[in-house]
Amino acid sequence: MRICPTTLKHKSKLIEQYRAHDEKIISYFDYKPFDSLEKRASDLEGRKFRRQDLKESLYEMNQLWGAPAETLQNINKFTDENSVVVIGGQQAGLFTGPMYSINKIISIILFAKEQERKLNVPVIPVFWIAGEDHDYDEINHVYMNKSGKLQKHILQQSVTIKKSLSHVEINKQQMKKWIDEAFQQIKETPNTKQLLNKLYNCLTSSNSFVDFFAQSIFQLFSTEGIVLVDSAHPNIRLLESEMFTNIIRKQNPIAKNVFETTEQLRQNGYNLSLDVAMDDAHLFYHDNNNERILLKRNGNEWVGKNDEVLLTTNELETIAKQSPEKLSNNVISRPLMQEYLFPTLAFIGGDGEISYWATLKKAFHELNMKMPPVIPRLSFTYITKKTSKLLENLALDPTFVLNNNVAEIKANWLLSQQQPPLQILMEQLKEDFAKAHKPLREFATEVSPDLGQLANKNLENIMNQLNFLENKLITHLKEKYEHQMNNYNNIELAIKPNGVLQERIWSPLEIVNEYGIQFLKEILSSNFTFKNDHYFIYLN
């Protein structure tokens, strides 16, 4: 395995400045991302956490998922008053979802190990499974490579109400069919049979999508001690009761600060995909069908976004105290709840998460907490042997591919294959025709304005014919160089599918099938700095 750092262009202004420690954006956070965490560890010493209750809850759920001994050992460390966590999370995608889920877990594990060495205290890697999320359409598929094209492989199970994924029961017959069809599209390797049996076993012992996700993670990371938490687990809800009450009581300043900070960031030129308002409760209520209803506040009343429910403040506080399982967090309250539950040394996040966390500093302070250090996760592009050979044959630098439009690279190569290059030839020809045609247009205009218009139309028709000829020539070139065109298409598919980073599209399924889980162990035994934008991982 070869690991090469690289630089990404086209990062957002916010992320660019955050990584550079620019005070314009750093002032929205309590800690700088790459500073020593000794101060943060010291700040946590004065905080009290329900460590024993947390340990018991985590032990129960991880044990049910078949957690390895290393994970259970780490859970036992929660009762150590000096122990802290490095935490990050994601939705419960099928077979982990896109590669960035795997890359985030790698980041959490490596950063926890690094900080444990530096601080000489137990640092526990924790992955927060967003089981309370209800967006089934975001997790019900993976992308597959079918005959050189990107194909969305969708689980055909229907989920019609907005129920937390932790509460959605898997249709095992449909899931088995989905797994079998996925494996029919990938080549058989020495790893295939074992991988398929592991997924069957995960499915057999799973009831929900969170169960299937958690067990898949433990199959991939069996010795690293990663601790998983289902954010929708009933035991976690009980631990969240007090914070739910605090969020309800502090709704006005929390919502006001988040809204005003969001507007301030936008006015300063930062692009945020966050939709917030002053009346947002930043909490969901679960009705009798366990459907999630987003709440808004209207004076002393709390109403569903579409008027599905109406509760008084007293009623909502009673629910928070007596039936906390009827409440869940949204994108704003989740970081606050996470900080309340866990002694968080650092939060590991992607670019999108860092962007919306920039709005939360004052919300943390309203609840007498500091925002934890927010560390950009490691970002990887995996280069297989096949892709590496294609890059070599076409003399392409992967960084150039990553930072440019592959369709343009391909088109420029194609048009350069004739001498002189077709594009230059056609541009010159059009220029020559326009120049030669000019005296005729001028003469026609002098004779009659109508004839001048006809002469202009004549030139337009000539140019259209030249464009027609150019397109025919390009089609012929594509046929002539079909093999080379396919090579460019395969590079685009492997490195920059749909014009975005590989990790945002591809599932780890095909890489694990080809290389086994050994490649993860090699990555976890390597050295990385979190300051680098991105890494290429060349798989042997």
For the stretch 191-200, pLDDT in tens is: 999 999 999 9
- Confidence bin at 403 (pLDDT 50/70/90): very high
Q: What is the pLDDT of residue 433?
A: 79
Q: What is the pLDDT of residue 208?
A: 95
Question: CB under 8 Å to 444, separation ≥6 — which residues?
Answer: 451, 452, 454, 455
Q: Which residue has the higher pLDDT, 253 or 411?
A: 253
Q: What percent of the chain has pLDDT over 90?
A: 78
- Confidence bin at 87 (pLDDT 50/70/90): very high
Mean pLDDT value across the chain: 92
d(Cα 218, Cα 224) in Å, to the nearest integer? Answer: 9
What Å distances lie between residue 74 and 59, 124, 182, CA to CA? 10, 6, 34
- Confidence bin at 411 (pLDDT 50/70/90): confident
Q: What is the pLDDT of residue 480?
A: 66
Q: What is the pLDDT of residue 419?
A: 59
Q: What is the pLDDT of residue 439?
A: 84
- Confidence bin at 177 (pLDDT 50/70/90): very high
- Confidence bin at 109 (pLDDT 50/70/90): very high
Residue 50 contacts residue 239 (beta carbons within 8 Å): yes
pLDDT for 395 beyond 70: yes
Q: Show contacts of 320-324: CB within 8 Å, 24+ apart.
A: 320/241, 320/244, 320/245, 320/248, 321/241, 321/245, 324/237, 324/238, 324/240, 324/241, 324/244
Q: Show contacts of 497-503: CB within 8 Å, 24+ apart.
A: 497/143, 497/150, 498/150, 499/405, 499/406, 501/379, 501/381, 501/402, 501/534, 502/99, 502/381, 502/382, 503/98, 503/99, 503/100, 503/103, 503/379, 503/380, 503/381
- Confidence bin at 418 (pLDDT 50/70/90): low
Q: Which two tokens stand for residue 189?
A: 């390797």
Average pLDDT over residues 205-232: 96
pLDDT for 206 beyond 70: yes
pLDDT for 405 beyond 90: no
Q: What is the pLDDT of residue 99?
A: 95
For residue 8, the one-letter residue type is L
| Number of neighbours of residue 294 by Cβ within 10 angstroms | 17
pLDDT for 5 beyond 80: yes
Most confident stretch, 391-395, 424-428, 475-479, 515-519: 515-519
Average pLDDT over residues 95-105: 94
pLDDT for 170 beyond 70: yes
Q: What is the pLDDT of residue 85?
A: 98
Q: Show contacts of 234-239: CB within 8 Å, 24+ apart.
A: 234/325, 235/56, 235/57, 235/60, 235/61, 236/57, 236/341, 237/324, 237/325, 237/327, 237/328, 238/53, 238/324, 238/325, 239/50, 239/53, 239/54, 239/57, 239/341
By C-alpha distance, which of 401, 382, 381, 379 is closest to 511?
382
Q: What is the pLDDT of residue 482?
A: 66
Average pLDDT over residues 408-414: 76
Average pLDDT over residues 149-153: 89
- Confidence bin at 473 (pLDDT 50/70/90): confident
What Å distances lie between residue 504 and 10, 110, 351, 405, 458, CA to CA? 16, 21, 12, 17, 49
Strands across the sheet with 123-129, in order?
227-230, 123-129, 84-90, 344-349, 374-376
Q: How many CA atoms lie within 13 A of 258 on its CB side?
A: 27
d(Cα 202, Cα 195) in Å, to the nearest integer? Answer: 11
Could you give all domains of the chain from N- to C-terminal order, each with its CATH number?
1-271+330-379+502-540 (3.40.50.620), 386-501 (no CATH)
pLDDT in tens, 277-331: 999 999 999 998 899 999 999 999 999 988 899 999 999 999 999 999 999 999 9
Q: What is the pLDDT of residue 416?
A: 73
**Cα angle 107, 381, 101; round to 5:** 40
Which of 68-72, 409-413, 430-434, 481-485 is least confident? 481-485
| 3-state helix/strand/coil string of 70-138 | HHHHHHHHHHCCCCEEEEEEECCCHHHCCHHHHHHHHHHHHHHHHHHHHHCCCEEEEEEECCCCCCHHH
pLDDT for 432 beyond 80: no
In the 8-state DSSP scheme, what is residue 394?
T
Q: What is the pLDDT of residue 477?
A: 67
Q: What percent of the chain has pLDDT over 70?
A: 96
d(Cα 435, Cα 462) in Å, to the nearest integer? Answer: 13
Average pLDDT over residues 101-124: 97
Residue 29 contacts residue 371 (beta carbons within 8 Å): yes
pLDDT in tens, 238-287: 999 999 999 999 999 999 999 999 999 999 999 998 999 999 999 999 99
Average pLDDT over residues 82-106: 95
Q: What is the pLDDT of residue 123?
A: 98
